[in-house]
């Protein structure tokens, strides 16, 4: 494996939602599922699920990472659990039908603006570098590419009719 800090964001993205073991500079080991990797510092955000709804979150500084070992590929269940931990409470204010309508309208708006978008369950994926989860506002956009993130968030923010959906 190439040195962690020298990897490209696309390489880090492969670890998202995967169960890993991280060996740090001091030989300390940490296990959990990768929620995200900070593209500037190469720091990992690891989530460890405990009991039913409890989870612990740990940030491991990128400069301290010596090795990241994939233990188990992520699955749809892991991705849903991770998303539910970090989904804003306001997404629970919408019915399933309302969320589906918001997703459909946002997808149509993005496509009208020539943005390549696909659906993966409850998530909209933009050009394989950005995701938008429920309730499909600018705050739910997630990407390691800050330029794309800012542009898509601006587009979502300026979507006609959005002021009626808040």
- Spatial contact of 60 and 70, defined as CB atoms under 8 Å apart: no
Locus of tokens 């898509």: 152
- Spatial contact of 54 and 30, defined as CB atoms under 8 Å apart: no
Residue 153 has pLDDT above 80, yes or no: yes
Average pLDDT over residues 81-100: 74
Return the pLDDT at 77. 82
Residue 90 has pLDDT above 80, yes or no: no
Return the pLDDT at 46. 95
> Is the full-model pTM beyond 0.85?
no
Buried b (16+ CB within 10 A) or exposed e, 80-103: ebbbeeebeeebeebeeeebeebb
pLDDT digits (tens, 9 = 90+) for 43-78: 999 999 887 667 899 999 999 999 999 999 988 888
Longest dimension (CA), the chain: 53
Q: What is the mean pLDDT of the chain?
A: 87
Return the pLDDT at 87. 64
Return the pLDDT at 160. 87
pLDDT digits (tens, 9 = 90+) for 109-149: 999 999 999 999 889 999 889 999 989 999 999 998 999 99
- By residue count, the chain amounts to 166
Higher pLDDT, 106 or 49: 106
């Amino acid at each position: 494996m190439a040195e962690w800090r020298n990897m490209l964001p696309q390489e880090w993205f492969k670890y998202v939602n995967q169960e890993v073991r991280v060996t740090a500079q001091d030989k300390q080991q940490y296990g959990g599922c990768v929620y995200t990797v900070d593209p500037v510092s190469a720091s990992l955000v690891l989530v460890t699920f405990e009991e039913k709804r409890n989870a612990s979150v740990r940030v491991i500084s990128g400069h301290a990472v010596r090795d990241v070992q994939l233990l188990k590929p992520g699955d749809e269940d892991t991705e849903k659990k991770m998303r539910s931990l970090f989904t804003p409470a306001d997404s629970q204010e919408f019915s399933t039908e309302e969320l589906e309508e918001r997703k459909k309208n946002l997808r149509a708006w993005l496509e009208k603006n020539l943005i390549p978008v696909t659906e993966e369950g409850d998530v909209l994926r933009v050009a394989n570098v950005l995701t938008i989860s429920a309730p499909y506002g600018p705050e739910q956009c997630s990407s390691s590419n800050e330029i794309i993130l800012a542009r898509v968030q601006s587009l979502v923010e300026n979507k006609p009719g959005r002021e009626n959906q808040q």
